[in-house]
């Protein structure tokens, strides 16, 4: 019943979007300003980075959604508006500009910025571009997805439909993020729209729970960003009875939400800075969910595992090593490891010891673009999945000179 549909954040009823190049990025034509608006005031919920150094836009958004309501999202790329003396003032000015051109109260606007930290953000190009941005609003989820990209190489959007009370509901999303990606209670930037009717309280509960198994299990480089923001706006226009309790409809909504966030995690990981491969680590047989998650994340975070995956080298000892320092209580003598991809399976470790395997097959399996590292702990019934990517020359290149 759950199916993927087109339209991104504009798929749910009531949402329009747009993205333009306004000039925050010098000498470039890449879009740098995005706007998502709803026809009606929405229930809204957000989660943010846990980094103590927080972008100014986050401080402003926190105030604006304190009442659980929002109607628009304004986002710029090319500058994180973080560690700037006038950051909050600039973020407020951006919201005031949206109010001026759309009539939506500044207090109902979610704002986010992404790019270099610690460089003053001029409001000038944003002021100049706002008219065109608002006039061009339409079914342009793709333009919005493009405008929030930094070193991303592909646009990231998705939409799904599902049923509540016999009414078709939709959830759409756009996101960005390639480096400084190790979300903790939030991701880089992700904006989700839905026309399902759901109270602000249940919406917050749904995404706060969701990120623990989705975005918090994603890591490109273990650097938790200063600007991570996930915002969800629910227009309620699908016509279902508003979800106000953790009932069956809530669970249906959460499953659809998880489909969206998980798919976005895979897109984010696959497009990690410099990545040539999506690495998925699935841990089963854990004594607790915490253990499963710690282990999966630890494997995904290991520079040595990541470099081995880049080189298609079945160096499974590094997986064991990462499990061992994960902080989780595991029994090394029960650990099994299998590398899996479209090219097949290769078992490399059983009971904590190496098993003989074909290096030729291993090379083939690890030369695919999507690699699963399947870890069994032999200790219980809990499982978890984490997403990441390989560590490549291009990651070093991109980050050796990001500012210029």
Which residues bind to a second copy, rule: CB under 8 A?
49-54, 80, 82-85, 116-120, 179-180, 182, 184, 221-226, 301-304, 307-308, 310-311, 313, 315-318, 320-325, 329-330, 332, 348-349, 352-354, 391-393, 395-404
The number of beta carbons lying within 10 Å of the beta carbon of residue 118 is 14
Token pair belonging to 281: 């680590």
Using CB atoms within 10 Å of the CB of residue 87, give its burial: 0 to 12 exposed, 13 to 18 middle, 19+ buried: buried
Rounded to the nearest 10°, the torsion over CA 308, 312, 317, 319 is: 70
| CB nearer a second copy, residue 10 or residue 299 | 299
Minimal distance in Å, beta carbon 48 to a second copy?
A: 12
Look at the block and give the residue holding tokens 């973080």: 82
| CB nearer a second copy, residue 222 or residue 266 | 222
Minimal distance in Å, beta carbon 322 to a second copy?
A: 7
| CB nearer a second copy, residue 121 or residue 192 | 121
| CB nearer a second copy, residue 262 or residue 392 | 392
Minimal distance in Å, beta carbon 192 to a second copy?
A: 24
| CB nearer a second copy, residue 226 or residue 252 | 226
DSSP string, 295-341: HHHHHHH-HHHHHHHHTT---THHHHHHHHTSSS---GGG-EEEEEE
Minimal distance in Å, beta carbon 346 to a second copy?
A: 14
Alpha helices in 103-140 (DSSP H): 124-135
Strand 69-77 and strand 229-234: pairing? unpaired
Residues labelled as active-site residues: 187
Minimal distance in Å, beta carbon 351 to a second copy?
A: 8
Phi, psi of 248 (to 5 degrees): -60, -40
């Amino acid at each position: 019943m759950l199916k993927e549909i087109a339209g991104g954040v504009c798929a749910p009823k009531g949402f329009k979007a747009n993205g333009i190049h306004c000039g925050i990025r010098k000498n470039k034509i890449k879009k740098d300003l995005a706007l998502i608006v709803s026809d009606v005031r929405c229930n809204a919920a957000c989660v943010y980075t846990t980094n103590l150094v927080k972008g100014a836009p986050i401080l402003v958004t926190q105030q604006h959604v304190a009442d659980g309501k929002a109607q628009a999202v304004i986002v710029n790329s090319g500058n994180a508006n973080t560690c700037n003396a006038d950051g909050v003032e600039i973020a407020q000015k951006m919201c005031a500009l949206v109010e001026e051109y759309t009539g939506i109260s500044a207090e109902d606007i979610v704002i986010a910025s992404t790019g270099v930290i610690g460089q003053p953000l001029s409001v000038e190009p944003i002021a100049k571009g706002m008219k065109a941005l608002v006039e061009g609003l339409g079914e342009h989820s793709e333009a919005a997805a493009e405008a929030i990209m930094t070193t991303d190489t592909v646009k990231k959007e998705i939409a799904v439909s599902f049923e509540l009370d016999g009414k078709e509901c939709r959830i759409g999303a756009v996101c960005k993020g390639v480096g400084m990606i190790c979300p903790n209670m939030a991701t880089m930037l992700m904006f989700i729209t839905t026309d399902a009717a759901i109270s602000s309280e249940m919406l917050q509960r749904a995404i706060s729970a969701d990120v623990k198994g989705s975005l918090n299990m994603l890591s490109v480089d273990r650097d938790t960003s200063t600007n991570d923001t996930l915002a969800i706006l629910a227009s309620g226009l699908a016509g279902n009875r508003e979800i106000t309790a953790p009932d069956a409809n809530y669970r249906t909504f959460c499953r659809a939400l998880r489909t969206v966030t998980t798919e976005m995690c895979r897109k984010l990981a696959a497009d990690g800075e410099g990545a040539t491969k999506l690495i998925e680590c699935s841990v089963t047989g854990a004594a607790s969910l915490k253990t499963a998650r710690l282990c999966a994340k630890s494997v995904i975070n290991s520079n040595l595992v990541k470099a081995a995956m880049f080189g298609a080298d079945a160096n499974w000892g590094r997986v064991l090593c990462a499990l061992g320092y994960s902080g989780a209580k595991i029994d090394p003598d029960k650990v099994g490891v299998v590398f899996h991809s479209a090219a097949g399976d290769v078992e490399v470790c059983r009971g904590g010891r190496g098993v003989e395997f074909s290096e030729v097959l291993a090379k083939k399996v690890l030369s695919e673009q999507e690699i699963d590292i399947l870890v069994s702990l032999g200790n219980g019934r809990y499982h978890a999945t984490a997403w990441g990517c390989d560590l490549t020359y291009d990651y070093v290149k991109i980050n050796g000179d990001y500012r210029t």
